[in-house]
Amino acid sequence: MNMISSQRWNFLRRVLGVFVGRGRGGEREVKIVMGSKLRNGELMLEMEDKSGVAGGVRDAYGEDSATKDQPVTPWTVSVASGYSLLRDPHFNKGLAFTKKERDAHYLRGLLPPAFFNQQLQEKRLMNNLRQYETPLHRYVAMMDLQERNERLFYKLLINNVEELLPVVYTPTVGEACQKYGSIFRRPQGLFISLKEKGKILEVLKNWPEKNIQVIVVTDGERILGLGDLGCQGMGIPVGKLSLYTALGGVRPSACLPITIDVGTNNEKLLNDEFYIGLRQKRATGQEYCELLHEFMSAVKQNYGEKILIQFEDFANHNAFDLLEKYRTTHLVFNDDIQGTASVVLAGLISALKLVGGTLADHTFLFLGAGEAGTGIAELIALEISKKTNAPLEEARKKIWLVDSKGLIVRSRVESIQNFKKPWAHEHEPVKQLIDAVKAIKPTVLIGTSGVGKTFTKDVIEAMVSFNKKPLILALSNPTSQSECTAEEAYTWSQGRAIFASGSPFDPVEYEGKVYVPGQANNAYIFPGFGLGLIMSGTIRVRDDMLLAASEALAAQVTEENYEKGLIYPRFSNIRKISAHIAANVAAKSYELGLASHLPRPKDLVRFAESCMYSPIYRSYL
């Protein structure tokens, strides 16, 4: 009763006719005793008390008196108590319910007598997780926890982020997506398929939470470096949004994972009897564009102008088109293009303290010219242009890209995709990466190819031959697709390389010295970036905001980090880092006139911290 205002309670009693009782499992319910039936073609509402006598079972829905051809509408308003409270992940506290709470909410006998506070629950669950030898089993255990006790899930993730991040995110989430059909238990987001065309707005309204602030959406065509996983790509939006909450403090109820299912070209999945998606080849062309446009329009109609839509793991040919098409009409952000670029730029800015010079003094060579590669390259060029006041076209000349056919040069301009054309510089054709390295003599080598073992010993040794401290970033995910391992980078460079990767690697000992590899993980950027957009009420994303996020992240690298060869801060401080990123992004939004939450807070860092979700249990008394 304490969860329903007295005014609303009296209204329910007068208009609908209600009773308060103890339902199934001791559940305390406010029942609207009204069954609707069709009699002689007319809708009849039954308002009489359906209570049984002598403690008998109530026929609250009118089911017993209805025949099979008489539809019944269940009208129910429930206050979470008893068994239903224990099954609600938003409110369940398990053994942390106090004696008074157990009495007040009919939990006596439904729980063992012991009381475990949240700290003890966390200790017990971490002990259990560490017993699993297989990362996928830890992933499944964490997802099970999220589905039964939301606050404890986030408490674990926040307090043990360095240990659990590889479990709920890359690299384990890649394997989880590959096996999603087998481990699927209950929906954690919305599945919108071609079958819902013309009804997407209606589907969005089926989601129980109405105050959505951020959506992460994928069509599953390019999941990490694993390719087309179709509907099973849902693991990516779910994982990303759990990090929005744990690392960026966005409320779980404000997050909505969505998978757009237009089919899959993965024959293995199409022939898998347990595949959970549409069994058809991918829709393309007009059919695909119409579905995506309906989705984007429905999202804006249902959630408003300031809903953040993060595109995730779309294939190159769609990712660039979608970002270009909707960036002027919606609040959109592509993590593969923009988030990756921002986190890599932050690492490059911080690495300047180790290698010296400015960004404009360095030469960059990319292996991979897709979403990530071209996105990073463009943001580096923007930063160089901004710092040197040089034209963007001039800044781009410091950056070279290698794709599957070799170095991107002017003579290939007619045969390459539009997003690669800005990087086609004057140079003779070069087919192999090793030859490109020797010809260009880069100071920075960046891998975004999605192909493992491509930074060979010859490539690393060539980098060392003309660099005192070569900067090597092997960014492809998951670990199996990394261009090289940390051990290979340090060993082949005789410990001279400054190394970071997309997936985590353990520290490496080489000739008596321990090297700690950094992780250029998008999770540094997107949670704080999203929080900054949300808390300022930003209506559009601009590149200057990405530069602001990069600079904020680079500023969080400490001298202690540099001494270990790290170009990124430790994840253990991620909420503090996210608050500073959010503040920088919000400040840039206010500066550009794109923020709608006015007046601007005086202390944006403190305001960001005050906006963050806390997983601490609440009292229900």
Residue among 515, 469, 467 at smallest CA distance from 491: 515
Q: Residue 388 — φ and ψ, nearest 5°?
A: -110, -5
Residue among 514, 488, 480, 481 at smallest CA distance from 472: 488
Read out DSSP for 415-439?
TS-GGGGGG-BS-----SHHHHHHH
Residue with tokens 């008489």: 70
Distance between CA atoms of residues 306 and 320, nearest Å: 21
Residue among 591, 599, 597 at smallest CA distance from 534: 597
Contacts 24+ apart (CB under 8 A), 193-196: 193/231, 193/260, 193/261, 193/262, 193/277, 193/278, 194/261, 194/262, 194/263, 194/278, 194/283, 194/287, 194/291, 195/278
Catalytic residues: 169, 240
Read out DSSP for 339-401?
IHHHHHHHHHHHHHHHH-S-GGG--EEEE--SHHHHHHHHHHHHHHHHHH---HHHHHTTEEE
> If you count them, how many residues does the chain have?
621
Q: Which residues are CB-contacts of 145 (< 8 A; sequence separation ≥ 6)? A: 125, 152, 153, 156
Q: In the numeric block, which tokens belong to residue 317?
A: 């040919």
Distance between CA atoms of residues 66 and 140, nearest Å: 42
* Residue 526 CA, distance from chain mean position: 8
Distance between CA atoms of residues 593 and 488, nearest Å: 47
Query: Sign of dihedral through CA atoms 530, 189, 519, 542?
Result: negative
Residue among 302, 312, 120 at smallest CA distance from 221: 312
Residue among 70, 75, 79, 71 at smallest CA distance from 3: 79
Helix (H, G, I), strand (E, B) or coil at 165: helix
Residue with tokens 């990767």: 501
User: What region does 249 belong to: left with phi over 0, alpha with psi -120 to 50, or beta?
Assistant: left
Distance between CA atoms of residues 150 and 548, nearest Å: 32
Distance between CA atoms of residues 321 and 316, nearest Å: 9
Distance between CA atoms of residues 540 and 546, nearest Å: 12
Distance between CA atoms of residues 291 and 8, nearest Å: 41
Given a contact cutoff of 8 angstroms between Cβ atoms, the answer to whether 434 and 457 are in contact is no
Q: Residue 141 — φ and ψ, nearest 5°?
A: -65, -40
Q: For the chain, how far is it from start to end, CA to CA, in angstroms?
A: 11
